[in-house]
Amino acid sequence: MNRLSAFSASGRFWRGNLHTHSTRSDGVLDPEEVCRRYRAEGYDFLALTDHFIGAYGYPIVDTQPYRTNSFTTILGAELHSGAMLNGELWHILAVGLPPDFAPSDSPNFLPKPEQETAAQIAERAVAAGAFVAIAHPQWSGLTLADARTITAAHAVEIYNHGCATGCDRPDGSAIADLLLTEGRKLTLIATDDAHFSEPDHFGGWVMVKAEANEPEALLSALKRGDFYSTQGPELRDVRIEGDEIVVDCSAAVSVVAIGHGTGAKAVHGQSMTRAAVPLARLNNSPWVRVAVIDAAGKRAWSNPIWREGGPNPRVARA
């Protein structure tokens, strides 16, 4: 049996948002109020990730004063440097940055020829201890050629709620699946990208399995892949048993197994809390991920299970 590590690791699940903005960049609310609202909505942790450009003073906002005995914060930023193939500036999410992370030469939202590349700033962020993700691929107009250059990233945003409400471009699955097919051991995160200027908050989050609701424990679990992403539905176990992938979850109407190329198979029903999806239609894909859909159309997404060579590889980096 091959089980995702999030469901075999010790600890419990903690709910958190990894992509959020405040008045320290282009958000509407000040950092204290942003933290208060997430805490009031029942979140266990939050990463405030304001835009890391010169126009905003390259902010890595100190949210430590807003922690409580039941709510924690992780320092981070949305990094910008270098141009994508469409000529626009890169957006790289970095959670777990040190306060003294060195700025790039990014005075505003326009790329400069002499800037470090997105690949270079992502590598610096990982070396500094951050969990790094490629932000909102669909909104950015990201191509596969662009995405291939970011070799240090841990994850891709599979869902960005702000991009859903603001421009109907929330999806990262196409880029993520192509990178997985090329053998990249990536995970998948759902985020808000909240600015509080529209209903862009409390719509997508991660459930992280860790021993404690503390920044280092959460970061380590994120880097290991011990989490799943959701808009509401719960994943309780995801495992391969023989020629099926078995999913335990909250009440669902569809459970979908997804692999490379055209490989996919769905099981449908009413109030399903367990589904066994045959893998024959996945065309011997070396990786399989799961989407669970409830009666309201809300989704949860597992990280991929890698089938070759036995146990699920870990995705941790330095």
pLDDT tens string 114-128: 899 999 999 999 999
Domains 2-230 and 235-306 share a fold: no
Is the CB of residue 178 less than 8 Å from the CB of residue 144?
Answer: yes
User: What does the mean pLDDT of the chain come to?
Assistant: 96
Q: What is the mean pLDDT of residues 269-298?
A: 97
Q: Which CATH class is domain 235-306?
A: mainly beta
pLDDT for 315 beyond 60: no
Assigned CATH topology for domain 2-230: TIM Barrel (3.20.20)
**Residue 309: predicted pLDDT:** 46
Would you kindly state where each structural domain of the chain is located, as residue ranges? 2-230, 235-306
pLDDT tens string 47-103: 999 999 999 999 999 999 999 999 999 999 999 999 999 999 999 999 999 999 999
Q: What's the Cα-to-Cα distance from 56 to each of 48, 96, 150, 295, rounded to whole Å?
A: 14, 19, 25, 42
* Predicted structure pTM score: 0.95
pLDDT tens string 21-59: 999 999 999 999 999 999 999 999 999 999 999 999 999
**Residue 1: predicted pLDDT:** 78
pLDDT for 313 beyond 70: no
Strand ranges (E), 194-234: 205-210, 227-230
Dihedral angle sign, alpha carbons of residues 40, 31, 210, 95: positive
pLDDT tens string 189-221: 999 999 999 999 999 999 999 999 999 999 999
pLDDT for 308 beyond 80: no
Dihedral angle sign, alpha carbons of residues 162, 35, 220, 2: negative
Q: What is the DSSP string of 140-194?
A: HT--HHHHHT-TT-SEEEEEEHHHHHHHS--B-HHHHHHHHHTT---EEEEE--B
What per-residue string of b and e applies to 86-102 under the rule 16 or more CB within 10 Å gives b? eeebbbbbbbbbeeebe
Q: In terms of Cα–Cα distance, which of 143, 138, 176, 209 is closest to 291?
A: 176
